[in-house]
Amino acid sequence: MTEPQVLPIADDKDVVRVRQAVRVIALAAKLPLVDQTKLVTAASELARNTLIHGGGGHATVEQVHNGRRAGVRAEFVDTGPGIADLGLAFTDGYTTGSGLGLGLSGSRRLVDEFDIVTAPGEGTRITVTKWAR
Amino acid sequence: MTEPQVLPIADDKDVVRVRQAVRVIALAAKLPLVDQTKLVTAASELARNTLIHGGGGHATVEQVHNGRRAGVRAEFVDTGPGIADLGLAFTDGYTTGSGLGLGLSGSRRLVDEFDIVTAPGEGTRITVTKWAR
Amino acid sequence: MDRVPVLKIGEILLVSIQIDLDDQSALQLQEDLSDRIVETGAHGVIIDISALEIVDSFIGRMLSTIAAVSRVLDAETVVVGMRPAVAITLVELGLSLNGVRTALNVDKALAILAETRQIRGVGLLRVSGSDDVPE
Amino acid sequence: MDRVPVLKIGEILLVSIQIDLDDQSALQLQEDLSDRIVETGAHGVIIDISALEIVDSFIGRMLSTIAAVSRVLDAETVVVGMRPAVAITLVELGLSLNGVRTALNVDKALAILAETRQIRGVGLLRVSGSDDVPE
Ligand SMILES: Nc1ncnc2c1ncn2[C@@H]1O[C@H](COP(=O)(O)OP(=O)(O)O)[C@@H](O)[C@H]1O
Ligand SMILES: Nc1ncnc2c1ncn2[C@@H]1O[C@H](COP(=O)(O)OP(=O)(O)O)[C@@H](O)[C@H]1O
């Protein structure tokens, strides 16, 4: 098992680095190819949100185990404006920016576990997990 | 001015990383494009020698200044077998491996300063410098 | 910045995306392609994404935008080589590549482009031999 | 490992190298290309290196080897898009790209390949319009 990896998210290139780190760990955890692809795609969406909507922050990526299965967990943390209306934010196509409004709703569909902690003015913390089969 | 960067040379991918590090510093030192290209090419040859002939080692890359001009210095160090006959080693086309035998002779032509310290059984240290015009 | 080459092959522009594009580089490619369409008068754009391990909403939007802009400039866009895992993920993400035509490979894309052009009465790129494309 | 896509365009294989290849990946590309030539019966190989910031002796040798192997397999290789700084550096390094034909761009390479093939009496890839290539 590897150490949790902490990666800054301060610019475009950091989003690419987060994708790559998640891929490496998903490979190590032996996620099937399709699940690797789903997790990396979700991570890309969430890391971009941390950058664009959260004003930057960091990601923590690690291999996890629940006793039965291995998996990969990724957490995205920012101290930005937070999200006031989660129902709205998770609506396909809803965006306050210039995105497609699929990041939150879509990435939730792509992972096995999705946890969000946010409040106006208190930043956003999203944790996602994908388990090997 | 930046800190000297020390990079391990233990596999193929490390050679790529050395090239990229040299490029970044050559850009920072404002070397003209052709000189960047020459220096990065020389670094690639020498890093590969460190890996293949020297059995691995490390590179140190840094920006330097001689009072009049900025430049980039790269050093390649290994604790491998060393080179017994330098005259032969610097002959175009001479190789004890499967290379083209252009690494030493060619990279010497590509840089402004080339310094080599080596002895049989005592490893090899090559330092090259390219100055901005 | 990483820049993806745009190759001109007859009246076609071909782009093979091999690097994990950051958002800035994706926008740059979008711009480069538009410029090259105008500059060359190309009538077809083929984008090979066989090397891409993921397509997220940003890259997806780039592909849609390229297709839309090309159309305005009288060029057809075909995306080739999408990996199955990427296609599955796109569907689950909810991303429909609006207005983007896809094909299995470059030859099939050329056939599609040749047909489209035939309708408009312009010859494009003929591939001789067993892979003959109707002109 | 990073793998460079080999695209089939009619009877031509096109490779656009965009990543800083480590030695292992360069050998892999060499192998992939040979395999694809045999598999497709391609008669021409175009290698675009416009994105390459350097060509060192290892990549140079890869290009020469690809050209030599292609020839044995009855295919011609043309390298396109070499940057001027790379060309200057290659000369100073002492590297002669033995047996490697070069061209400014893909269209010019297609013209070269079409001519070579014409001599041998095989049609290849015809580009219609202003860039007409003799068949
Ligand atoms: N980390 C975040 N901090 C603050 N707001 C966010 C964050 N992530 C998402 N949001 C809000 O939720 C909306 C929907 O997000 P998403 O579904 O990812 O679409 P998009 O990013 O394309 O706008 C965003 O437009 C933004 O208003
Ligand atoms: N770091 C090194 N340690 C030991 N021997 C070396 C080293 N670098 C070069 N040599 C020797 O010098 C020869 C010539 O090197 P070079 O000109 O770079 O050509 P090539 O690497 O293609 O063999 C090598 O074949 C090797 O015998």
Q: Which residue of A has its CA nearest to C98?
A: A100
Read off the pLDDT of residues D61-116 as tens digits, 9 standing for 90 and up: 999 999 999 999 999 999 999 999 999 999 999 998 888 999 999 999 999 998 88
pLDDT at D114: 87
- DSSP-based three-state secondary structure for A97: coil
- Rounded Cα gap, residues B80 and B56, in angstroms: 8
Q: Is the pLDDT of residue B3 over 90?
A: no
pLDDT at C99: 83
Cα of B118 vs centre of ligand 2, distance in Å, is 12
pLDDT at C133: 40
Q: Is the pLDDT of residue B60 over 80?
A: yes
pLDDT at D118: 57
Going D42 to D117 to D79 to C24, the CA torsion angle's sign is negative
Mean pLDDT of chain D: 86
pLDDT at C125: 45
pLDDT at B23: 96
User: Does the C-beta of A124 come closer than 6 Å to ligand 1?
Assistant: yes
Q: How far is CA C95 from the centre of its chain?
A: 17
Mean pLDDT of chain A: 95
Mean pLDDT of chain B: 95
Tokens of B130: 């390219």
Cα of A108 vs centre of ligand 1, distance in Å, is 13
Q: Cβ contacts of residue A51 below 8 Å, gap of 6+?
A: A9, A10, A11, A12, A14, A15, A57
Q: Is the pLDDT of residue D119 over 50?
A: no
C-alpha torsion B110→B112→B117→B123, nearest 10: -40
Q: Is the pLDDT of residue A11 over 80?
A: yes
Binned average pLDDT, 10 residues per bin, chain C of 135 residues: 86 93 95 95 95 95 94 94 95 90 94 75 40 40
Q: Which residues pair with B78 in a beta bridge?
A: B57, B124
Q: Which residue has the tokens 């020498």?
A: B46
pLDDT at D3: 85
User: Does the C-beta of A127 come closer than 6 Å to ligand 1?
Assistant: no
Read off the pLDDT of residues A30-87 as tens digits, 9 standing for 90 and up: 999 999 999 999 999 999 999 999 999 999 999 999 889 999 999 999 999 999 999 9
pLDDT at D17: 95
pLDDT at D134: 41
Q: Which of B9, B12, B53, B110 to mutate to test the interface with D (most CBs of D within 10 A)?
A: B12
User: Does the C-beta of A49 come closer than 6 Å to ligand 1?
Assistant: yes
Read off the pLDDT of residues B12-27 as tens digits, 9 standing for 90 and up: 999 999 999 999 999 9
- D92 and B110 within 8 Å at the Cβ level: the answer is yes
Q: Which residue has the tokens 């949100």?
A: A49
The arithmetic mean of pLDDT across residues A113-119, rounded, is 96
Residue bearing the CA closest to ligand 1, atom 25: A95
- D126 and C128 within 8 Å at the Cβ level: the answer is yes
pLDDT at B133: 83
